[in-house]
Structure 1
């Protein structure tokens, strides 16, 4: 969901239709719809969504508001309540919405990591096969990218913090998270090639030039305005910085613990709640260096997150530096 707004903006800026509907978070601190809602309205009617796509060539809307797949929406409510996230339902959820939206080419990113939703290459290959074969049976050109999910992409975890990352990339901000920028360009490049906008191998270059020229940001703002207006994501008032207790090399991120912390802090319902990461894998740090900052909209929610942290210290692992 961090890459989606950037990819949509780049693809639409090149004149291609990309009606993107997304879900809210099921078990994570932010779905794409939650992140977008920190910047623009996403609960569009079907007629409103059609109008936005006709005007701008793309939208970034919440799928639940247009009932593209009403049965899936009901199942998601049950999954959220029971904290379930099954493989079969994931495939059905993704493909049903793409078919209902009238998509022809579909690109799906599958992050793999020890604490990611997909934990092994074997699981990823199985999911890839299910997605591609199901899509093919329904007339879709589905391609999948298996990527590194050992740590979060970008710095933010939570709607507003992820939205801030998105805007930094689109604005070519020097402080933008480079991993998010790079992954977005790669995905956008593949879509540009799939749609026949450029020859194979030339998509990345076109995506990069679209971003650097400012055309992607201009298109993103235009989409937001068409959906009801653009506003900057708000940052939460209550914060706590977690620091390293020893020096060494950052070697491991527990994505599930990070997601739990962000959720306890209030995400995704509290849009400004979540986590801002200050380190990445491989960073050499000193004792006392900031690892991440917790954000909450209320002191009680911050306290809940800190209480969880007291019993789960291995959120980010630091190992001794080998000289």
Structure 2
């Protein structure tokens, strides 16, 4: 047996084990061909990628080291004697092979795969194989089976007497579309419970959790989250910390670098999280535009029908709002800049982005009408009164205070470059994908102060040399990449 050692190495979501080359119990060569090992103690086990250590100051010959994520997943105290054995491949991976070969998987098959993924028995390359196979084709029955499987392996919130439980989700693809951080306090100010659990960004410059983390702590434990909603009627937290559909967070960690975000996986991801969060009434926002994630009305209708079908099977009251996705919303793109816009709307600032305010009021109005006491068609006017009176701002400040301060102060990136207009003209179009890509190259969302501050929107007149937007970055490398990308194509189409 070897002694378990916690090595303070952040390997993100990858389980990594470290073995001294001169290990007293095993020859490193036993495992090198496999690339992985299994660490066992009684009923607990963990599959991990194996790295070999030559420096005894890092790891002794009678120790097995685990990276931070692996140590937490195994859940044993440092110093525990553990066994090291060749890994036993999860039996469910045969089902992944079948999916790669073109077979549709049944509900029990998908449940087995997701159980092993949630149990950290898959390497990232195996998860990637599953995701790519699913991206090739998925039946509607598979989408439902995948959704149910992801709900089953995590916690599920029970709100015990609170009803209805409202929620909203935007499918993304539109930079700056941070309406949830305005909608939640409006709905909470009305008294309708709205526990908003959000993912971090997958392919965008910021997710709601990334932006909210500029203002408050989002890593809220489940019991505290429930107290928060009973106390403040709403919250804005990261879903991964409360173990709602934990397999989804693992899948997202692999989807992100592969830039995989198919309609079927998107529906399963969103609805598994919402059902696990105990939501009874859900509004889905689908923006449509030429450079958005969804680019045509027909595609939006197909996605709407998939959401409605899976939502019905899960027992959710689900409505879909198809909104304008022709250009970014607000001015800020990136966590700090988006948080600035959100707070400007909540505070009623004269320079608050009107498009962000209008969109948030429309969506909040739809959600308020889930309340049986609110007349049909009266929701948006009620939302406007709650915002203009300051009640929504007070609700947001209450939520922020209860969730606690952010883990670190986030400041706007100090490296700044303006992207000028190449000619006189009128802004005819803004490429959502290109602008989001430049913001990510600048460092967003990992660097919360990085991103783009839009100075012009569609219809604005501009003269040659006047700035279209500002790039903010925190490091020279990111700054250089973003500037080079903007120089190739800034994402702003001028009509002269």
User: What TM-score, normalized to structure 2?
Assistant: 0.63
2:419–2:486 CA contact under 8 A, matched in 1: no
Give, in angstroms, the shift of residue 311 of structure 1.
2.1
Segments of structure 2 that go 5 or more residues without pairing to the other structure are 1-176
CA distance in 2, matches of 1:249, 1:95: 41
RMSD of aligned C-alpha atoms? 1.3
1:274–1:295 CA contact under 8 A, matched in 2: yes
CA distance in 2, matches of 1:282, 1:197: 40
CA distance in 1, matches of 2:391, 2:237: 21
* Number of the residue aligned with 2:383: 207
1:241–1:291 CA contact under 8 A, matched in 2: yes
* Number of the residue aligned with 1:3: 179
* Number of the residue aligned with 1:178: 354
* Number of the residue aligned with 2:468: 291
Give, in angstroms, the shift of residue 233 of structure 1.
5.6
Structure 1 counterpart SS, 2:271: helix
Segments of structure 1 that go 5 or more residues without pairing to the other structure are none
CA distance in 2, matches of 1:316, 1:115: 12
CA distance in 2, matches of 1:19, 1:90: 20
The 1:236–1:197 alpha-carbon spacing in structure 2 relative to 1, beyond 3 Å, is: farther
The answer to whether structure 1 residue 280 and structure 2 residue 460 are counterparts is: no
Give, in angstroms, the shift of residue 232 of structure 1.
8.2
Kindly report which structure 2 residues correspond to 1:22-61, keeping only aligned pairs within 5 A, or say none: 22-61=198-237
Structure 1 counterpart SS, 2:329: coil
* Number of the residue aligned with 1:71: 247
* Number of the residue aligned with 2:421: 244
Larger Cα-atom Rg: 2
CA distance in 1, matches of 2:409, 2:319: 33
CA distance in 2, matches of 1:94, 1:47: 22
Give, in angstroms, the shift of residue 300 of structure 1.
2.2
- Which has a greater percent of helix? 1
Give, in angstroms, the shift of residue 234 of structure 1.
2.5
CA distance in 1, matches of 2:213, 2:229: 18
Aligned length: 319
Give, in angstroms, the shift of residue 178 of structure 1.
0.1
The answer to whether structure 1 residue 267 and structure 2 residue 447 are counterparts is: no
Structure 2 counterpart SS, 1:19: strand
Q: Deviation string for 1:77-127 (max 9, x for gaps)?
A: 110121111110100011111111111110011011111111111110011
Structure 2 counterpart SS, 1:226: helix
* Number of the residue aligned with 2:395: 219
1:163–1:233 CA contact under 8 A, matched in 2: no
Give, in angstroms, the shift of residue 196 of structure 1.
2.2
Q: Deviation string for 1:114-163 (max 9, x for gaps)?
A: 11111111110011001111111111111111111110111111111111
